[in-house]
Each structure stands twice: as C-alpha cells, then as structure tokens.
Amino acid sequence: MMLPVLVTGGCGFIGSNFIRYLLETDPDISIVNFDCLTYAGNLDNLSDVARDPRYRFLRGDIADRRAVREVAETGLSTIINFAAESHVDRSIHDSSPFIRTNILGTQILLDAAREFNVPRYLQISTDEVYGSLGPTGAFTEATPLAPNSPYSASKAAADMLVRSYVHTFGLPAVITRCSNNYGPYQFPEKMLPLFIMNLLRDEPVPVYGDGLNVRDWIHVRDHCAAIDRVWREGRVGEVYNIGGRCERTNLDLTNTLLEIIAKPRSLIRFVRDRPGHDRRYAMDSTKIEQELGWRPRIPFEEGLRETIHWYESRPEWVANIRTGVYLKYYERQYGRRLSDRAPKMKFSGSPANAKRRHANAKSRRELPKSKVRGPKPKRPKVRRAGAGRRAG
C-alpha cells in the first residue's frame, strides 16, 4: 500500500474539498489530515468521510516542530500544505498568526520533508502574492511578487522559502497559485459565503469601497482537480498558476447573487473600504493548461447556483458556525460599518452609476481620500446629523 499523503489544513474550505476529491477519485489513496482546528478548521466539513479507512485525522499544528517530525517520521509519500491563516481582513487586524503559521509553519514542513526524504512537497499558494493589476493584463508565473497585505506577504515569504529549499537542498517541491475559490464548506468570513448567508436571512451585504474591485473566480472543485494534476505530474521547482477565466467586479457578483436569491438591491450597503484593497486580480493559466492539460470545467453561473443551494440546504452546518466566536468577529468587522449611516444601494450597478455613487460617498467622507476616483462630487445632499463622520 502507498505511503500516506499528508494534507495539512484539511479541515478548512479547500483542504476538505480536496480530501473528498481524492477519496472520490483514487481508490488506493491513503490520507492523513493534519489540522490544528483554528476557528476556520471544522470537523463537520469531513464528517461524511470520517470513517473511510483510507482517511485519518490527526490534530496538530504545522508550527509545532515536534508534532510535525512525529508524523513525518512514520513515512509519507507527499506533503500538500493547505494549512494557513487565509483571511486578508484578519491579517489587517493582527498579522502575528499569519507570520507564525504561514511562514514558520511552512519552514517546519519543509525541514521535515528534507529530514525524512518525503519524495514530493506541494505548496498551496495564491494569486495575491503578485499584488494588484491595472484594468488590463493577467498574472503569469513570471510576474514579480509584490504582495500588498500582511496575508499575501506571509504567503509570498512561504513561496520564497519553498523556492530556496528546491534551489539549495534539491527538495522536490512544486508551488500552485490560485485565484478566488468559491463552493461548499467555505467559512463565512469570505465574501461569497458571507453574502449568500446574509441574503438568505434578508440581512444587508457589506460591499467594500466602490464595489469595482475585480476577482477571478474559480469553483473549488476545479481548483482541486488542478492540484491533483500538479501534485502527480507537475515539474519540480515550478510554479503553476490556476485561474477560473472568470473576472467579475464585486458589485456585478453581488447583483448576480441578488438575482438568483431573488432579494432587493436595497440590501446592498457600501461600506468603508478594506485598507490597501487590491484592485484587480486575473490569472493567466496557460502553463498548466498546456503542460498538464487542465482547464476549469464548471461554468460560473451553474457553480454559483449549486453553491447557493448548498448553503441553503445546510442549516445545521451554518448554525454550528454562527456561534459566539463568529458573531463576535462579525460585530468587530461590520458592526459599525453596517450601521444605518452606511448608504444603501440607490443607483443601478453600472460602473458609471457606481462612479456617481462613489462621488456621493466621498462627499460623505466615507472613503479614504487617496482611494477616491471619479467625477468631482456635487454639493452633498446629506442630512446634517452625522455629516463629516466616517460610516464605519
């Protein structure tokens, strides 16, 4: 029997989807899921496969050298490192856990892979390491790294460590960098599950800034298929970009959700922007498409409908997450931003109208001055009470 694949962070969103993908597609697989169960790690994500003899869960921290050595010395065929602090907004509040898990944790895994001669190491990275794009073009694997948030900086640092272990020690490692994933089992701090859950409860959705930031969306199952290819066939020392060829502004995406869930636009709230908010991501996946024959298969609207249905039909999964810790985070992140002073959607979602709205927002001093684009604001027609105060 083959030595197990060590999947770190397997109780999170992508890791749990990947474990399920492997169990569905490879009858001979053996998996050890190594996860320390942070707020984002959820055993419910894998309850349906927990008794599969090919699968074993081990609670452990990738930044704990002793625990990692203990599992590595039993013999592994591969390490696939999903474990990370993954939310940009949290990294803005406090970057410490990001440095510890994403950088130190990666270093410890790399050391273990070296010490115990693990024949394959895969680092799951992100398009965010490339920074932000202007209105045109896409990131290739040759794009210089220019991370803008503490989260993406920690992921870029990890990528650099992986590169150095390949170069210096000949470690057989590969890196994947993917764009924004959506699908089942995603923790509702990320935009899509947060918006879906709020809309299903007739609650407002907080769109940051002018809503015109662009993300390149990919269904998590397409991402899992790409990881599977790279793990088995990718060339050592290489980076593979993975994207969905599906660019959407946040506002377009929000409007699509409203249409599918049949909710009114008055639920949109434009709130204070994320500091340092990257404007646009887009991935050029030519390399993986040409070398490994992978391409995204799931059409966006279809994947989105299926995803909405998934959250709608899992009230228990949702209820188990919407507990004290989550609600406390939600209040800290959105409480003031979503107060009644935040402007509701008044215009249509077209970019031109968004510019008008954005100009209005500027006149209310709701957004940082440096971020404001668009025509000069007309005299503000705002109520005097609260004027001059920030919305969030």
Show which residues are catalytic. 127-128, 151
Q: Residue 71: name its binding partner from ligand NAD, ligand DAU, none (Cβ under 5 to 8 Å by kind).
A: none
Taking CB within 5 to 8 Å according to partner kind, which of ligand DAU, ligand NAD, none is near residue 213?
Answer: ligand DAU
Query: Taking CB under 6 A as the criterion, which residues in 143-202 touch ligand NAD?
Result: 155, 178, 180-181, 187
Strands (E), 160-258: 173-178, 180-182, 205-208, 214-219, 239-242, 247-249
**Residue 327: both structure tokens together:** 């609600």
Nearer to ligand NAD, 249 or 360 (CB): 249
Binds ligand NAD by CB under 6 A, chosen from 6, 7, 40, 230: 40
Return the SS3 of 272.
coil
- Contact (Cβ atoms closer than 8 angstroms) between residue 259 and residue 115: no
* Phi, psi of 379, deg, nearest 5: -55, 125
Minimum Å distance from CB 155 to ligand DAU?
7
Based on CB atoms, which residue is closest to ligand DAU, 205 or 359? 205
Tokens 């507990």 found at = 323
Among 42, 179, 255, 307, the residue binding ligand DAU under the rule CB under 6 A is 179
Q: How many residues bind ligand DAU (CB under 6 A)?
A: 19
# chain residues binding ligand NAD, by CB under 6 A: 29
**Identity at 92, one-letter amino acid code:** I
Interface of this chain with ligand DAU, residues 191 to 220, rule: CB under 6 A: 191, 194, 206-208, 213, 215
The only residue of 165, 217, 281, 294 in contact with ligand DAU, by rule CB under 6 A: 281
Whether the CB-CB separation of 145 and 130 falls below 8 Å is answered with yes
Contact status: 206 vs ligand NAD (CB under 6 A): no
Output the six-digit token pair for 364.
């209310």
Residue with CB nearest ligand DAU? Answer: 126
Collect contacts of 148-153 with beta carbons under 8 A, ≥24 apart.
Answer: 148/276, 148/278, 149/88, 149/91, 149/92, 149/276, 149/278, 150/91, 150/92, 150/95, 150/98, 150/99, 151/85, 151/86, 151/87, 151/88, 151/90, 151/91, 151/95, 151/98, 151/102, 152/88, 152/126, 152/128
Question: Which residue in 18, 83, 123, 127 binds ligand DAU (CB under 6 A)?
Answer: 127
Q: Report residue 257 CA to chain centroid gap.
A: 18
- Which of 5, 7, 32, 36 touches ligand NAD by CB under 6 A? 36
The tally of CA atoms less than 13 A away on the side-chain side of residue 218 is 30
Task: Kindly state the smallest distance separating residue 105's Cβ from ligand NAD, in Å.
Answer: 5
* Nearest residue to the partner ligand NAD, using Cβ: 12
Question: Interface with ligand DAU by CB under 6 A: which range of 38-46, 65-73, 84-92, 348-356?
Answer: 84-92
CB of 89 vs ligand DAU, minimal distance in Å: 6
Q: Is the dihedral of CA 35, 170, 156, 250 positive or negative?
A: negative
If contact means CB under 5 to 8 A according to the sort of partner, which of ligand DAU, ligand NAD, none does residue 41 touch?
Answer: ligand NAD
In the complex, least distance from residue 127 CB atom to ligand DAU, rounded to whole angstroms: 5
Q: How far apart are CA 184 and CA 76, in angstroms?
A: 28
62 close to 15: Cβ distance less than 8 angstroms: no
| Tokens at 164, concatenated | 């150095």
Binding segment for ligand NAD (CB under 6 A), chosen from 57-65, 194-202, 315-323, 352-360, is 57-65
Q: Which residues bind ligand NAD (CB under 6 A)?
A: 8-9, 11-15, 35-38, 40-41, 61-63, 82-84, 86, 101, 105, 124, 126, 155, 178, 180-181, 187
